[in-house]
Amino acid sequence: MKEIMEYLKVRYCSEKGQGIVEYALILAFVVVLAIALSSGDNSLSTKIKAVFTKVSGQLQ
């Protein structure tokens, strides 16, 4: 039983596995961010542009 636990520990707790998981999470975050910025007329990018336009207008 101890041998099985050691095998599982080495197999699933290695730094290589952690690196792959971190890379996958970063990739998923970038994909979600890209979708949020480019979806529809009422997208996040449109709202950000509106804020910069409003601030620019107030500075002039």
pTM score of the predicted model: 0.46
Q: How many CA atoms lie within 13 A of 39 on its CB side?
A: 6
Range of the domain at 18: 2-59
pLDDT at 14: 65
Number of domains the chain contains: 1
Residue 32: both structure tokens together: 């979600």
Cα–Cα–Cα angle for 42, 47, 45, nearest 5°?
A: 80
Strand ranges in 9-55 using DSSP code E only, listed in sequence order: none
**10-residue mean pLDDT series, the chain (60 residues):** 78 71 91 78 76 90
